[in-house]
Structure 1
């Protein structure tokens, strides 16, 4: 009885994993609106009714995917940040940024799911599909600004940013983690994120293919200029 139950659980886990893989594959080839339970069932040779035994709705599947993808990204950048704890600020910032890009290039479908066009008709659960992982990534970005702030904070003395300019949920994570980071520092974090995310997005969506054969070199130069703009000596 035990071995039979174990086999069923293993088969269910394998089928669940395949459903998620097929969903990401369909999105990669047909865009976000290609994710439907019927399309997945057809791709896997299952009946539509059978797939409902794994995910009751399309939105349940999308929520699971977003949560797992976001968590994987958060794990990757958090691990890189922890491993660079003994390094200087410039190296720590570069390490985090490289980990983000490496993860994105290895998981382009996942990147597009969480940062690309929304899935049409998708209704996220209250609080969002992956609030903890999303805030972990945001807190990691704030860590970059906090690391740079002793070097660049003086140039933001005239900033008029207030805490009221930011999302309360984000503040609830960032302020306890970095009590010395002012509102202008959080604004700096978002600008750092825009630089890194923008260049990686162009690469993931193929918009750099007609412009450069060396996206690695372009990204590394961006990191050089980013660190320099933060007043950090290397």
Structure 2
């Protein structure tokens, strides 16, 4: 095995950047975006606020890293659910992704709202920047799972290459999931009266069957179709 070429200096920088992002994540979890401050992060990390500019150009730059990290965490949770359900029925694999998406949002509601809603006045994510790539990673397990339900394997993995009809159908499915999860974590889903997970799984199962109803065996298409 080749020895790592990362220098001690580079490793220390990488670890400090990770610590800064972790502190910002904790501040976000505790009080929302308004609780994340330049001085507060610097103080918790144990450095002078001016020194923070060595690692991030601005608070917006730090929020970009925070959003990217949160997208990766959500994508990791959904991807792990997809991998762990290998061998299950395709619809069950999709529902495993649904449950993982909801569970992450319930556990991290402020991060979920940050990455999906405009909560930072004046902030704009860099076009084609790291947040874009990280967001796309969230969709991939869902695309693969839906592809399996339709017998198309990984042919749905590249959303941009899909016909418009397929894009609209998949966005409709994801919109159903995302909308219900957003309602739940923001206490707009009859809290205490409705089982959020049961409702979301039921609606997603219904939506999937509505968009791609199971074929009757007597009218199934030939393998070549």
Query: Is this a same-fold pair by TM over 0.5?
Result: yes
The reply to whether residue 217 of structure 1 matches residue 198 of structure 2 is yes
User: 1:33–1:120: 8 Å Cα contact kept in structure 2?
Assistant: no
Q: CA RMSD in A?
A: 3.4
Residue of structure 2 in register with 1:35 after alignment:
36
| Among candidates 165, 169, 176, match of residue 188 of structure 1 | 169
**Mapping 1:1-234, distance limit 5 Å:** 13=15, 16-28=17-29, 30-41=31-42, 47-149=48-150, 173-174=158-159, 182-208=163-189, 210=191, 212-229=193-210, 230-232=212-214
**Alpha carbons 1:26, 1:35 under 8 Å: kept:** yes
Maintained 8 Å contact 1:24/1:109: no
Question: For residues 38 and 29 of structure 1, what CA distance do their matches in structure 2 show?
Answer: 16
**Post-superposition offset of 1:65:** 1.2
Contact 2:28–2:111, Cα closer than 8 Å, also in 1: no
Find the aligned partners of 1:35 and 1:11 in 2 and give their Cα distance: 21
Contact 1:90/1:232 (8 A) holds in 2: no
Structure 2 portions without partners, runs of 5+: 1-6, 216-225
| Displacement of 1:172 | 10
Q: How many residues align?
A: 205
Q: Tell me how far 1:74 sits from its aligned partner.
A: 1.8
Per-residue CA deviation, residues 22-58 of structure 1 (Å, 9 max, x unaligned), is 4234434554344331343356675422433442311
Measured after TM superposition, the shift of residue 9 of structure 1 is 5.8
User: Which structure 1 residue ranges, 5 or more long, are not aligned?
Assistant: 151-170
TM-score of the superposed pair, with normalisation by structure 1: 0.69
Question: What TM-score do you get using the length of structure 2 for normalisation?
Answer: 0.72
